[in-house]
Amino acid sequence: MRRMTWTAALAAGVTGALVLSGCGGGQGPGGTTAESSGTFTGEYDGPKVELSYWNGFTGGDGPFMQDLVDQFNKEHDNIAIKSNTIQWADFYQRVPAAVQAGQGPDVGVMHLDQLATHAARNIIIPLDDLAKQLDLTADDFTQDIWDAGIYHDKRYGIPLDVHSLAMYYNKDHFEKAGITEPPTDEASFMDALDKLKAAGYDSPFWMPSLWPSHLMFLSLMWQNGQPPYGEDGTEAAYDSDAGVQALEWQRSMVDQGYSKPNVAIDAQYVAFKNAQTSITWDGIWQINDLEASGLNYGIAPVPTIGDEQAFWANSHHFFISTQAAKDDNKLQASKVFIAWMSEHSADWAGSGMIPARESVRADAVKGMPQEVIADEIESMRFLPPVPGLGGVQAEALEPAVANGVLGKGDPADQLKAAASKANQLMERNRESFGD
């Protein structure tokens, strides 16, 4: 499951920052940064060029991406895209050094919460000219998705999709328990759990200690009205009342007997897939896997446990590396590739993702399982564009949430210590990245 490698990938954010700083990586936004050159015309008329394209689509979404690449190659005689598909953890560890050595991707896809880190280290280049030429504006995206690709007033990513947490439920279990609609708030969610227990499903909602438990925590914080970080990346708010309430609620699932007491990573999803549990919160990237499993499942937005509807989300963005920027033919060809992929983002919906562009989203997901999640796109919340933030979460937040869920300490104490550690890490990152 990709969640296991993604946690490692986030941890690489801090480690990679320090390594790059030590070996004289990029100069950062204030230094010498490779910029796009030339005017993008929408076409590439130069000599045949091969582009190294890196991505982390190793799961059920992989074949959909490769189909798009194959289609692009058939339509472009003078551009050959060579795909390199890597587990996300390895991806974020390998890209910086590979690009600096001239052996990395010319063009690629990364998560939006990694863009700022790679921009700060001069691994990727601004794409404002490409966005302008493609007539891409905030009008075709939600404001949060559009803003997430901007770091130091420059755009470093072209959005492809959004993917978020969702609630999956077993339709057969719901029918046996007399539940006719998926729960939408805390009252209906708790009522559903009680009915499921009464119907013989002793632990209907397993609360994991690790992934995606911290994503559930972030969602609950946002629902309680508190962003987990300041926009400038100077302070973590885990230990706010909103954070403490979130972690206490997660632990209450165990205390009240709705969840087993020690749920390992992936165990809650495997149990749901095998009809051992009735409800799970997980990413929409699981859709294709569940479709193939034959389970009679339903999908709905994460219920509003707090005061407002909100839930964690992320997004895949296309980037161009500083490696490609050194060769104008590769640079222009990379822009053509990104433009083509953006225009064909509706086809990407087959992967289970939600196209980022509003102009294609509704038609692309119509009749698909993720349609009900796409309808709630305004409720999706994203982490701020702060370099190294993924590593901060892996080192500070995730252990605190795990300990709180496992009952290894008071949630308030765990989160207070985590916030203090996160603030120290973010200060160190600011020094490393020159922010």
Note the pLDDT of residue 309.
97
Per DSSP, 101 falls in state: T
Domain range 164-313+388-433, CATH class: alpha beta
By the 8 A CB rule, do 57 and 65 touch?
yes
Note the pLDDT of residue 404.
98
**240 or 144: whose pLDDT is higher?**
240
Separation of alpha carbons 174 and 298, rounded Å: 10
Note the pLDDT of residue 157.
96
Average pLDDT over residues 260-281: 96
Residue 57 has pLDDT above 50, yes or no: yes
Residue 227 has pLDDT above 80, yes or no: yes
The boundaries of every CATH 3.40.190.10 domain in the chain are: 2-160+315-343, 164-313+388-433
Note the pLDDT of residue 145.
87
Share of the chain above pLDDT 90, in %: 80
Separation of alpha carbons 18 and 57, rounded Å: 27
Residue 382 has pLDDT above 80, yes or no: yes
Note the pLDDT of residue 435.
67
Residue 154 has pLDDT above 60, yes or no: yes
Note the pLDDT of residue 19.
35
Query: Buried b / exposed e across 30-62, counting CB within 10 Å, b at 16+?
Result: eeebbebeeebeeebeeeebebbbbbbbbbbbe
Tell me the per-residue pLDDT of 94-127, one tens digit each, with 9 for 90 and over.
Answer: 999 999 999 999 999 999 999 999 999 999 999 9
Share of the chain above pLDDT 70, in %: 90
Residue 4 has pLDDT above 70, yes or no: no
Separation of alpha carbons 149 and 34, rounded Å: 17
Superfamily of domain 2-160+315-343: Periplasmic binding protein-like II (3.40.190.10)
By the 8 A CB rule, do 10 and 211 touch?
no
Residue 23 has pLDDT above 70, yes or no: no
